[in-house]
Amino acid sequence: MTTSDQALLRQKRVLIGSILIAGLCSIIYELLISTTASYFLGDSIRQFSITIGLYMAAMGLGSWLSRWINGNLLLAFIAVELVLGLIGGLSVPFMYLAYAFTDLIQPTMILLIVLVGTLTGLEVPLLTRILENQDILAKNLSNVLSLDYLGALLATLAFPFLVLPWMGVFQSSLVFGLLNIALGLLNLWYFAPQLALPRRRILGLSGLTVTAFLVLLLVFSKGLLDQWSNSLYGDRIVYREQTPYQTIVMTRYKEDLRLFLNGNLQFSSIDEYRYHEALVHVPLSQHPAPKRVLLLGAGDGLAVRELLKYPAVETITLVDLDPAMVALARQDLRLRALNGNSLNDPRVTTVAEDAMVYLDRGQQRFDVILADLPDPNNVSLARLYSREFYRLVRQHLAPGGIFTTQATSPYFATKAFWSVKASLDAAGYPQVVPYHVQVPSFGEWGFVYARVAEGSLTPKPIEVETRYLDQTTVAEALTFERDLRPTGSVAVSSLDSPTIHDYYMDSWSYWH
């Protein structure tokens, strides 16, 4: 092999390696954009579907536009990488700003997807044309596409297991933006002899300037996130963690400790006892001997605190998808003070698993099962409010067993609330009773009680210490004013047709 041939081979390897990294970065940007949109807008299925469709269409647009690019194709490819690194690197910061200070989060998401997709669509045709003198077209194109697809595979595997848990969405976008720019500068340096000096200097200076800007944002990212979070949450951030499943934020103002998951309030320490007493003590007061209790969700330990008040309770199994939430509730001094160190009680066993998967695989039966799950703001969560899920729960109830679930707000999401009742009726429970309480931080909040035996929910004295709930308030909770009742029929929610998700999103989008 001649020296000239060796040089061409090295150039080819650099360019082929470039498309691997470029493909990886582009997919990471799209995953970051859709994940961030899911955090802010909910309905992850919708956000990812929009992302995939627009991204593919924009790639087609980029491929079509590439035919108009002539002249030095290497310069064009390097410029694309630098611009892609800048836009991709700033994609999540742009979305954070749009969410915090404007109502343009969805248009911002769409614009970013189209820009990233269009620039990505330019890459493959440019590289194919750059390499056309070295191989026949078929071989050349297959090499470029195979490396591009491999980069996409690496991105999809790395994102949930490495990228998101280690860096979170904000820092990840900056890091991969820098990687993309470094790729452009590497090609600029390697192919410098083939590039005109004036344009080489312009690209080099532009790349270094953008690099410095993104590095600066990365260095100060913690402070920027704190300022953004404080502007969004209002109160001082005392804890923030990005897990593979969600963003956990705790805020504090005087004595009020609040927990947010993906920006959604989970509790306020000032009035959380109203919610948790209603969730726990209504069903527990109806069961003569609640020895074995299963909690689905409730990783903050507050429902466990209420359950541990009952001497009859021998075992509590808590199933929460996110082990980081359970670890926080078990270790954080502020949460431990609030939940009474409940998760360290020897009667409590915690399992890090999806609630539906746990029930599907398990055989154990329980006297009481409580569902303290997030609202059905996406299709994945909606399945935990389906007729099929409630049938699965029923299979794990012992004779005379009781199931109670939080069921969102009968005032703000009326049809979603009554859909829970309809779905439990459809699941075959002989006794299904809705009830509601006033929780100041949330407003009117609802629950649905179901039992595998015939009978009625009769208000009884609460035999354990409470701050809010008693026999009188239970009786009041069973009464629904006219504006809390549905107008018209309410559909059953199922795995195949998750109507509760549509009800929920329509209601809350109106109030928001």
Spacing of C-alpha 33 from chain mean position: 12
Separation of alpha carbons 182 and 179, rounded Å: 5
Separation of alpha carbons 380 and 388, rounded Å: 14
Is 372 noted as a catalytic residue in this protein?
yes
Q: Is 499 helix (H, G, I), strand (E, B) or coil?
A: helix
Catalytic site residue from 148, 320, 322, 372: 372
Tokens found for residue 408: 């969102």
Q: Where are the alpha helices (DSSP H) in 159-271?
A: 164-190, 197-219, 221-233
Nearest residue to 164 via CA among 53, 84, 262: 262
Nearest residue to 148 via CA among 15, 274, 270: 15
Separation of alpha carbons 226 and 167, rounded Å: 15
Q: Is 377 helix (H, G, I), strand (E, B) or coil?
A: coil
Separation of alpha carbons 361 and 243, rounded Å: 25
Tokens found for residue 91: 């994609």
Burial letters for 367-394: b for 16+ Cβ neighbours within 10 Å, e otherwise?
A: bbbbbbbbbbbbbbbbbbbbbbbbbbbb
Residue 306: exposed, middle, or buried by beta-carbon count in 10 A (0-12, 13-18, 19+)? buried
Tokens found for residue 220: 């100060």
Tokens found for residue 221: 């990212």
Name the residues annotated as catalytic. 372
